[in-house]
Amino acid sequence: MSDTENAGQAGQPVGFVALVGRPNVGKSTLLNALLGRKVSIVTRKPQTTRHRILGIHHRDDAQIIYVDTPGLHEGGRTAMNRYMNDAAGSALADVDVVVMLTEAFRWTPADDRVLERLEGVRAPVIAAMNKVDRVADKGRLLPAIAEMDQRRDFAAVIPLSAEKQDNLDALETAIIEHLPTGPALFPPEQTSDRGEQFMAAELVREQLMRHLGDELPYASTVEIEAWEQEGQLRRIAAIIWVERPGQRRIVIGEGGERTKQIGAAARREMERLFGGRVYLKLWVKVREGWSDDARMLQALGYREE
């Protein structure tokens, strides 16, 4: 029996940790770095993360269940906006620790609004100052930590770099100090609460945003229409939904070239993640107003788990 299994049976620090912050501050990058594998898609566009996703880190001394959330943002004009804010807010209700991710040396009004949302949270809040690798003068770090400490009575203030995977152990050490003790909640082989079909749709959407983020920022989503598996070969058919015919033309591109590029890039990511061959077929369809249609959103998987 492994050390992890022994610890899980005997009782160890185990609990839920919400990763919160303004849009595009690096929460999904941090989650993937902590787990050592991809469970949440990453682009340079704000509001890439639309769902609440669990990432389970099995350590020899603890089991940490991270809750990646959409960025807390102003607005709420569409059903999609409201869903994302609700998903982010509800994650704060039942967690044992909150990690508020900020960008080192850059505090914005959006960070103020996140801090306001945390005022009524009972769980200890750890401030994680991300992207410290981008600042050459490390002498600025101590004053920045002291300034952060003045904003709230944080349980800890940890400077780190999610992209460079720097100082992540210090963050997890601070988290573990505040976790309750109990049996492991997930088996050692499980690293997320999301299955392969969810990840396949997300990987297509990731490539949509990377290829068309400026032309088609948030007007698209992806639905898995068919899924067949023969051994290590997966045959996947997916629909890319957009809101207007003009957007459909953009996604398809001249002679279908843009869709081919998106599909090829998504297929490579799937094969890397799933560990087998993937045959991917994409269609692009129009559904006007899908992002403000509550029933359509539920059908596409935008609902609380």
Model confidence at 154: pLDDT above 50: yes
The total domain count for the chain is 2
Sorted by sequence, the CB contacts under 8 Å of residue 305 that are 6+ apart come out as 52, 193
Residues 220 and 127 in one domain: no
Is there a contact between 152 and 181 (Cβ–Cβ < 8 Å)?
no
**Average pLDDT for 113-125:** 92
Residues 152 and 223 in one domain: no
**Average pLDDT for 204-231:** 88
Residues 149 and 256 in one domain: no
Residues 144 and 259 in one domain: no
Residues 223 and 165 in one domain: no
Model confidence at 251: pLDDT above 80: yes
Q: Residue 88's pLDDT is what?
A: 63
CA 178-184-188 angle, 5° bins: 120
- CATH number, domain of 16, equals 3.40.50.300
When pLDDT is cut at 50, 70 and 90, the band that residue 45 belongs to is: confident
- The model's pLDDT over 254-300, given as tens digits with 9 standing for 90+, comes to 999 999 999 999 999 999 999 999 999 999 999 988 888 888 888 77
**Average pLDDT for 150-158:** 96
Tell me the C-alpha distance between 240 and 284, whole Å: 5
Q: Which residues pair with 53 in a beta bridge?
A: 68
Asked whether residue 188 is domain-assigned, the answer is no
Tokens of 81: 């906006």
Q: What does residue 178 show for φ and ψ, rounded to 5 degrees?
A: -110, 5
Residues 244 and 292 in one domain: yes
Residues 161 and 237 in one domain: no
Q: Residue 8's pLDDT is what?
A: 47
**Average pLDDT for 151-178:** 96
Residues 55 and 177 in one domain: yes
Q: Residue 252's pLDDT is what?
A: 96
How high is the mean pLDDT of the chain?
A: 88
Model confidence at 151: pLDDT above 50: yes
**Average pLDDT for 59-64:** 96
When pLDDT is cut at 50, 70 and 90, the band that residue 68 belongs to is: confident
Asked whether residue 58 is domain-assigned, the answer is yes
Residues 217 and 143 in one domain: no
Residues 246 and 155 in one domain: no
Q: Which residues pair with 282 in a beta bridge?
A: 238
**Average pLDDT for 37-51:** 79
CA 155-161-166 angle, 5° bins: 90
Q: Residue 305's pLDDT is what?
A: 54
Tell me the C-alpha distance between 177 and 174, whole Å: 5
Among 193-197, 242-246, 268-272, 290-294, the range scoring the smallest mean pLDDT is 290-294
What range does the domain containing 224 cover?
196-299
Residues 57 and 23 in one domain: yes
Sorted by sequence, the CB contacts under 8 Å of residue 255 that are 6+ apart come out as none
**Average pLDDT for 217-235:** 91
Task: Work out whether strand 53-58 and strand 63-68 pair parallel, antiparallel, or are unpaired.
Answer: antiparallel
Handedness of CA 133, 137, 143, 144 (dihedral sign): negative
When pLDDT is cut at 50, 70 and 90, the band that residue 51 belongs to is: confident
**Average pLDDT for 20-31:** 90
Q: Residue 10's pLDDT is what?
A: 61
Residues 107 and 19 in one domain: yes
Model confidence at 59: pLDDT above 50: yes
